[in-house]
Amino acid sequence: MKKTIIVIISVILILAVIGGAGYAVYRFFYPAGIGNAETVAPLETLFPASSDESATQPEKLYKVGIVQNGLGDASKACYEGFISELNERGVLGNLDIVYIVEDDREQCAAKIKQLTNDCDLLYTIGRYASVTAKDTTKDIPVVFGAVNSPDEIGLVATNEAPGGNVTGVSSFPPCFEQIDLIKLLLPEAKSVAVLYSGTDTDAVSQGIIASKEAENIGLSCEKYIVDSEKTLQSTLDKIKTAKTNAIYIPVDKFLNKHLDTITKFSIDNKIPVICGDEATLAKGAFATSVVNHSSIGRKAAGMAVDILFNKKDPATLSVIYKHDCDNLINQEVADKLGVKIPATAQSKVQVYEKPTEAQIPTETAAVETLKQ
């Protein structure tokens, strides 16, 4: 009988020790006072299910500030692509996102300064927001989107090795793809004239890249530097005399002021103009290839995930220049030129439609506190 009692007491003591140890472990990982049912996020929110087995599984809640200083469709697409990519990677539930749309520079700078007080990362859309963020903080990681030449404006030391707290995704015009359109849309073309202004640094870079690509794909290419109305007119005369098959103009401040002259020459002489952006296409160019701005947002989101969850250093994350692109044609201009899109190209291009009036995206409730 005594032996039975001793065995029972021993079992009870062992169970008590095991229970106490288990409770201690529980309190170690979930200490008392961490929150209640209303303040602690549910497990499915912290670790949302994802169909992608390779999706990053986050470990904590991070605050991300998104600052967009452009009001157009391209800027909005940079934001939407960013959010979509985070959602597909299964990390959106672990991010507290504050989204600010502010076209006023003074207000934009003030809100960025406020965000740097408690954000873990900033995603800036547009040149001004990105430069302002860099000038405001040296500690918080900044991922930019839609900045043409970040190295030339001092956002990064070099595109290959940014060297600081800032990196991101460039929106430099896809010159290679734009020149490739000549072969796609004008398969009989043998020559192209590349026009650009010698005083516009970005235009010079685009012109040189485009010229090299033209030669790479077997086109005879002549470069023309045009910095005055006189040189523009003489250049157009040379192009007509040479019976050049196509004209390429990059995003160029000088040429933009004289687009009417160029597009009239194009229609009158049936020489298609391939251009560097949608604005030029809308004003009378024939075709362009443009960066899909949603893809800029998606690539920026990938960098943000690498920095926050994979602990990558923005100083070592190279600026991204490669994008998904959309090939666009101005159908009205194509009709005036008498150009028929080859059957082999029809699935690779889309007819350009002028965007609707820009609408300011709805801001989150959290943003309202910054406005007070």
Instruction: Say yes or no: 242 and 311 in one domain.
Output: no
The span from the CA of 214 to the CA of 182, in Å, is 9
Q: Is the pLDDT of residue 187 over 50?
A: yes
**Are both 157 and 226 inside the same structural domain?**
no
pLDDT single digits (tens) 156-172 = 999 999 999 999 999 99
Residue in the structure block whose two tokens are 């030029």 = 280
Q: pLDDT tens for residues 74-123?
A: 899 999 999 999 999 999 999 999 999 998 999 999 999 999 999 999 99
Query: Average pLDDT of 331-350?
Result: 96
215 lies in the same domain as 311: no
Residue 24 lies in a domain: no
Q: Which long-range contacts (CB under 8 A, 24 or more apart) does 151-157 make?
A: 151/319, 152/201, 153/127, 155/130, 155/131, 156/319
Q: Are residues 311 and 338 in the same domain?
A: no
The answer to whether residue 34 is domain-embedded is: no
361 pLDDT more than 50: no
Distance CA 140, CA 136 (A): 9
pLDDT of residue 72: 87
Check whether residue 181 and residue 197 sit in a common domain: yes
> In this structure, are 161 and 182 located in the same domain?
no
DSSP, res 316: G
Q: Are residues 150 and 298 in the same domain?
A: yes
Statement to judge: residues 229 and 335 lie in one domain: yes
- pLDDT score at 146: 93
Range of the domain at 230: 175-291+326-351
199 and 311 both lie in a single domain: no
Q: Please give the backbone phi and psi of residue 330, each rounded to the nearest 5 degrees, phi first.
A: -95, 105
CB atoms within 10 A of CB 215: 13
- The answer to whether 63 and 118 have CB atoms below 8 angstroms apart is yes
Residue that wins the pLDDT comparison between 321 and 81? 81
| Structural domain includes residue 309 | yes
- Counting the structural domains of the chain, the total is 2
Give the pair of three-digit tokens for residue 305: 């995930």
236-284 per-position pLDDT tens digit: 999 999 999 999 999 999 999 999 999 999 999 999 999 999 999 999 9
| Residue 46 in this model has a pLDDT that exceeds 60 | no
Identify the weakest region by mean pLDDT among 30-39, 204-213, 353-362.
Answer: 30-39
Mean pLDDT of 128-139: 96
- Name the pLDDT band for 370 (thresholds 50, 70, 90): very low
Specify the pLDDT at position 230. Answer: 95
**SS3 (DSSP) at 162:** coil
